[in-house]
Amino acid sequence: MGDPFSNLKNSLSKDFEDLSFSEERKNAVRETIRRKQNHLELQYWKVETLKNILDSLQEEAKHGYDISTQLFRKNESSFKSNEGQIYILLHLLENKKIITSKWIEGKKYYSLTTKGKKYAASREHPDSKQLNSLKNFIEEASL
């Protein structure tokens, strides 16, 4: 038996094969997305939130649900109204090489990289320089 969606796929490919966007339009869409992300990221993600996530990964790799559960136990309320936002932050941390991930039995597990361990170490003996570094990281991640 063949693919039941083959006719639909063929129809869609024919309908959209001549569709293309100019570079100007692509850049306008990217800029709109970037502006919206800036607003959300700086609004929700505080230095304390970042520290709590890094702390939760100190001992072992965890998947997103475990991280969010641990954050709620610490009364971290940044993600209370929109729990899915934690995955956006985890993705940014991964893009900045602060954490790494791998799939195990259908779940994505996150762990600290060497760079992430340095950020996490700043939690133990925070000084103004390290706190500024974390604040700068949050601002940089939103670009």
Domains and CATH numbers, the chain: 52-143 (1.10.10.10)
> 0.85 cut: is pTM over it?
no
Query: 78 pLDDT exceeds 50?
Result: yes
Are the CB atoms for 126 and 54 separated by under 8 Å? no
Q: Which residue has the higher pLDDT, 25 or 122?
A: 25
* DSSP states of 90-137: HHHHHHTTSEEEEEETTEEEEEE-HHHHHHHHHHHS--HHHHHHHHHH
Q: What are the pLDDT digits (tens) for 99-128?
A: 999 999 989 999 999 988 887 776 555 555
